[in-house]
Structure 1
Amino acid sequence: MNNRTHRFSHIVGTKTYLFRDLKDLMAKATPPRSGDYLAGLAAGSAEERVAAQMRLSELPLATFLDDLLVPYEQDEISRLIVDDHDAGAFAAIRHLTVGDFRNWLLSDQVDETVLAEVAAGITPEMAAAVSKIMRIQDLILVGKKCRVVTRFRNTIGLPHSLSTRLQPNHPTDDATGIAASILDGLLYGSGDAVIGINPATDNVPQVIKIVSMLNDIIDRYQIPTQSCVLTHVTNTIQAINRGAPVDLVFQSIAGTEAANQSFGISLKLLAEAHDAALSLQRGTVGNNVMYFETGQGSALSANAHHGVDQQTCEARAYAVARKFKPLLVNSVVGFIGPEYLYDGKQIIRAGLEDHFCAKLLGLPMGCDVCYTNHAEADQNDMDILLTLLGAAGCTFVMGIPGSDDIMLNYQTTSFHDALYARRVLGLKPAPEFEAWLKAMKIFTEDSYVKLGDQLPPAFQQALLRLS
Structure 2
Amino acid sequence: MAYALILGTERFHFADLRTLLAKASPRRSGDELAGVAAANARERVAAQLALADLPLKAFLNEAVVPYEADEVTRLIVDTHDAAAFAPVSHLTVGGLRDALLAEAVEPADIAAGLTPEMAAAVSKLCRVQDLMLIASRCEVVTQFRSTLGLRGRLATRLQPNHPTDDEAGIAASLLDGLLMGAGDAVIGINPATDNLPQVMRLVQMLDAVIARHEIPTQSCVLTHVTTTLEAMNRGAPVDLIFQSIAGTEGANRGFGVTLALLEEARQAALALKRGGRQVMYFETGQGSALSSGAHHGCDQQTLECRAYAVARRFEPLLVNSVVGFIGPEYLFDGKQILRAGLEDHCAAKLLGLPMGVDVCFTNHAEADVDDVDSLLTLLCAAGCNYIMGVPGSDDIMLGYQSTSFHDALAMRRLLGLRPAPEFEAWLQRMGVFAPDAPRLADGGLPARFAALLEPGP
TM-score class, shorter-chain normalisation, is: over 0.9
Q: Does 1:463 align with 2:453?
A: yes
Matches within 5 A, 1:98-177: 98-110=93-105, 114-177=106-169
In structure 1, what is the equivalent of residue 199 of structure 2? Answer: 207
2:318 paired residue number:
328
- 1:10 is the counterpart of 2:5: yes
Amino acid at match of 2:80: H
Aligned CA distance change for structure 1 residues 448 and 116 (closer, same or farther; 3 Å): closer
The match for 1:28 among 23, 27, 34 is 23
Of 37, 40, 43 in structure 2, the residue corresponding to residue 45 of structure 1 is 40
For 1:86 and 1:220, the matched residues in 2 are separated by: 44
CA distance in 2, matches of 1:154, 1:29: 39
1:9·1:55 contact (CA, 8 Å) conserved in 2?
A: yes
Per the TM alignment, residue 465 of structure 1 is displaced from its structure 2 partner at its CA by 5.1
Measure the CA separation in 2 of the matches of 1:462 and 1:361. 40
Q: Percent of aligned positions with the same letter in both sequences?
A: 67
Letter of the 1:123 counterpart = T
**TM-score normalized by the length of structure 1:** 0.96
Residue correspondence of structure 1 range 57-96 to structure 2 within 5 A: 57-96=52-91
Tell me, yes or no, if the aligned pair for 2:433 and 2:441 is still in contact at 8 Å.
no
RMSD: 1.1
Task: Give the TM-score normalised by the residue count of structure 2.
Answer: 0.98
Counterpart CA distance in 1 for 2:258 and 2:114 is 23
Conserved 8 A contact 2:97-2:122: yes
Match of 1:221 among 206, 213, 224: 213
Unaligned 5+ residue runs, structure 2?
none
1:308 to 298, 306, 321: 298
2:180 aligned partner: 188
Tell me which amino acid in the other structure corresponds to 2:139.
Answer: R
Structure 1 letter corresponding to 2:435: E
Is residue 245 of structure 1 aligned with residue 237 of structure 2? Answer: yes
1:401-440 paired onto structure 2 within 5 Å:
401-440=391-430
Q: What is the CA-CA distance between 1:454 and the residue it aligns to?
A: 2.5
Cα displacement (A) at 1:201: 2.1
Q: Report if aligned partners of 1:434, 1:447 keep a CA contact under 8 Å in 2.
A: no
Asked if the contact 1:248/1:291 (under 8 Å) is kept, the reply is yes
User: What's the offset of the Cα at 1:453?
Assistant: 4.8
Which 10-residue stretch deviates more, 447-456 or 411-420? 447-456
Q: CA deviation at 1:461?
A: 4.0
* Structure 2 counterpart of 1:377: 367
Q: Deviations over 1:334-381 (max 9, x none)?
A: 000000000000000000000001000000000000000000000000
Contact 1:299 1:305 in 2 (8 A): yes
1:464: how far off? 5.8
- Give SS of 1:457's match: coil
Instruction: State the partner residue of 1:288.
Output: 278
Amino acid at match of 2:374: I
Task: Check the 8 A contact 2:334/2:368 in 1, yes or no.
Answer: yes
Offset at residue 274 of structure 1 (A): 0.3
Shift of 1:432: 0.4
How much has 1:448 moved relative to structure 2? 3.6
Contact preservation (8 Å) 1:41, 1:307: yes
Quote the Cα distance in structure 2 between the aligned partners of 1:97 and 1:109.
Answer: 14
Q: Is the contact between residue 438 and residue 444 of structure 1 (CA under 8 Å) also seen in structure 2?
A: yes
5+ unaligned residues in a row in structure 1: which ranges? Answer: none
